[in-house]
Homo-oligomer: A and B are copies of this chain.
Amino acid sequence: MSLKSANEYSISSLLAGEVNVGQSVCVKGWVRTRRDSKAGISFLMVHDGSCFDPIQVVASKNLSNYEQDVLHLTAGCSIIVDGELVKSLGKGQAFEIQAKQIIVVGFVDDPDTYPISPKHHTVEYLREHAHLRPRTNIIGAVTRIQNCVAQAIHRFLDDNGFYWIHTPIITASDCEGAGELFRVSTLDLLNLPRKENTNAIDFSQDFFGRETFLTVSGQLEVEAYCLAMSKVYTFGPTFRAENSNTTKHLAEFWMIEPEIAFADLEDVAVLAENLLKYIFKTVLATYSDDMNFFVQHVDKEAINRLQKILDAPFVQMEYSDAIKTLEKVNDRFEFKVEWGSDLQTEHERYLTEVVTEGRPVIVQNYPKEIKAFYMRMNKDNKTVAGMDILVPGIGEIVGGSQREERLSELDKRLDALKIDKKNLWWYRDLRRYGSVPHAGFGIGFERLVGYVTGVANIRDIVPFPRVPNHAEF
């Protein structure tokens, strides 16, 4: 069996009409379905991951291995097809392949028990078979869209002069206090070193000579690069050891965190709006087949929602004004709001779905009590320069802030929050040596892809989800 062919094409290029009818072509992929006509012709739908649609391969009984191989093909078998690209007479696609040779590369052991049979499977069932689920319509489409979103993020930021910085995954500090942490260690659990005459663990004997954890955010470290390179971002995995079994939480997820020097809250709000619109525009322009699938089978608003966001500028709203608006309709909400409340998803959705009728809302200047230590104190001494971008359907999709660049103000906050300044010596240094106003935001990558596709459970976005009690594969 030779793997090489001079006429090899991806199915996407054939269906896109990039090859002339009549030409010899070779495709390599997996059978999704087989249908046999009484006249001794088999119709195979073959996919290779390159686009949503499979291509139809027409195999006649004249093929030398028709009886022996073709009639035994089932969902999941891998084949190499040599044939002629022809116009399709049936409805649906414009092109199909008239097979001249079909080589079966791999059959399916016991097709009756193959987990990805052509019938409909629930997403819950597919999660149990995460190693095979990219072969399905839905997870294949998610995979193409998540790649499109990720590539769009890199291209947009690279084209705009941002540098991608690899901030550390293993860290010695829980600076954000953003939740429970995973410990990283090489200590022998059956023989833990103790500090002399105590029961306390002696982490000086651990791999890094101290207690270390998985990072919750690369922001603090990327600020150091921002204050030298001007425009930077992180795009990497972050971790939360929260025992949350919801459709929105993962223990391991990727975040994008741009950071700009000489910038204020407004600058990063503009950047976030432009970035989101660029992503949505790219997805709609590039993957309309996959998006149409989501509209038909997952969320009929999937395309409209993105289109609507593209059509109008985001609405800016002060937190205080948002609260006034929400207080008037407090009886709608499970959690009643007042000034000082953190906004829940129900409030966020009301603002962007009802108040602005589907336009995203940038809520700004939150009470300092509900935001992190690093956000810049406003003149009122009550609010900080933080912003969240809210979108219909899910609420917050972006969280950002102008950072506190004044050392005296930062120290006040650290003291008030009883955060140990010693660990943050280097972060404080950044405020001592040519400090500048700077600002940034974070986007959870999987939630963003969930938003784009309409797929409700984040466990169906990431290939092999990590959640409480699950670390299979």
Using a CB–CB cutoff of 8 Å, the interface residues on chain A facing chain B are 3, 10, 12, 28-31, 48-50, 76-78, 80, 105-109, 114, 116, 130-132, 134-135, 140, 143-144, 146-147, 150-151, 154-155, 158, 161, 163-172, 180-187, 189-190, 192, 199-201, 207-210, 212, 214, 221, 224-225, 227-231, 236-237, 239, 241, 243, 251-252, 254, 261-264, 267, 405, 426-427, 429-430, 432-437, 445, 462-464, 466, 468-473
Contact = CB atoms under 8 A, between A and B. Distances in A.
Contacts of A433: 76, 106, 108-109, 114, 116, 132
Contacts of A239: 169-170
Contact of A221 (B10, B469, B473): B473
Copies, count:
2
Contacts of A150: 164
A435 B185 contact: no
B230 A464 contact: no
Contact of A132 (B78, B163, B200, B429): B429
Contacts of A187: 183, 189
Contacts of A190: 199-201
A170 B471 contact: yes
Contacts of A182: 170, 184-186, 207
Nearest to A105: B436
Nearest to A192: B189
Contacts of A472: 172, 426
A466 B168 contact: yes
A463 B166 contact: yes
Contact of A169 (B12, B107, B252): B252
Contacts of A224: 130-132, 134, 463, 473
Contacts of A227: 135
Contacts of A430: 131-132
A378 to B, nearest CB: 16
A130 B429 CA distance: 11
Contacts of A168: 252, 463-464, 466, 471, 473
Contacts of A405: 106
